[in-house]
Amino acid sequence: MRDNMANVRGDLMAGYLKTSDIAKAVGVHVNTVRLYEARGYLSPVSRTPSGYRRFTPTHLEQMRLAHLALRGPHTGGRQVALELVKCAADGDLGMAMELAYTYLTNVRTERTHAEAAVEFLERWAQGQTLDTTRHTLSIGQAARHLGVSVDQLRNWDRNGLLNVPRDPKTNYRLYSAVELGRLRVIRMLRRSGYSVMAILRMLRRFDAGETEQLREALDTPGMNEDFTTVADRWITTLTKDEERARALIRQITVMINAAAGQ
């Protein structure tokens, strides 16, 4: 793909580019180029008298930026990425650069939350008490105590994240400090972006007596997980998206330098 881009730059930049030239250079289908043009992700494209599009080197760089920015996932915010692309198409490269750094900041914030949640988990896994409630609580009391809904607690129970003891007479769930501490870990991980499946995978390892490498368990789907989402490998997703944010900044730098004649 890099060779294709180099060839296009070297051989075709002297004149107008065809839709197929843009598609080949970026590594997309020609319909993607047309779609991005129609949605305003590229600046207006002139046409020949016979109706053929006449793209310029500027359009090629805009297409590279749009293709890079609009591929998911968007841990830094899809709307930010979309606005970035539109600003570049409108010629406001300064705002595009500002938005690229906003996107980078958002990704780093998400990553900080994810890393902090893992530290919280590791303290608990090493035996740190996370709740000192002296009496058992009903499910409603536990929900209020933790600031979550009763439905959330039931859902975590149904998904196997914990096994809550029940009153032998009423069969009602009884939450002690042990269950509440575990729930604090689950809540922290969920609020930091980890999926239920990732947490379940990690807790199964913990319940089997393995208190090391829980971070890896959160980020490594098992062989039996046929369908995975970005939240099933959240740390990896955030790391890759931070790399993409840096690539956006580099691409906008190329466009600014070209516009300034550097």
Domain ranges (residues) in the chain: 1-71
pLDDT at 224 over 90: no
The mean per-residue pLDDT over the stretch 88-96 comes to: 97
Q: Which ranges of the chain would DSSP assign to H, the alpha helix?
A: 2-12, 19-26, 30-38, 57-70, 78-89, 93-125, 139-146, 150-158, 177-191, 196-207, 214-219, 234-259
The mean per-residue pLDDT over the stretch 128-135 comes to: 95
> What's the pLDDT at 261?
85
**DSSP 3-state assignment of 195?**
coil
The mean per-residue pLDDT over the stretch 150-179 comes to: 95
> What's the pLDDT at 72?
84
> What's the pLDDT at 222?
82
How is residue 166 annotated by DSSP? B
State the angle between helix axes of 57-70 and 78-89 in degrees (0 to 180), rounded to the nearest 10.
180
Residues across the chain: 262
**What is the number of alpha carbons within 13 Å of residue 66 lying toward its C-beta?**
29
> For the domain bounded by 1-71, which CATH number is listed?
1.10.1660.10
pLDDT at 129 over 80: yes
- Residue 151 to residue 231: CA distance in whole angstroms: 21
The mean per-residue pLDDT over the stretch 175-182 comes to: 97
- Residue 141 to residue 120: CA distance in whole angstroms: 23
**Residue position matching structure tokens 């062989």:** 223
The mean per-residue pLDDT over the stretch 93-120 comes to: 98
pLDDT at 11 over 60: no
**Beta carbons of 233 and 197 less than 8 angstroms apart:** no
pLDDT at 8 over 60: no
pLDDT at 1 over 50: no
Q: pTM for this structure?
A: 0.88
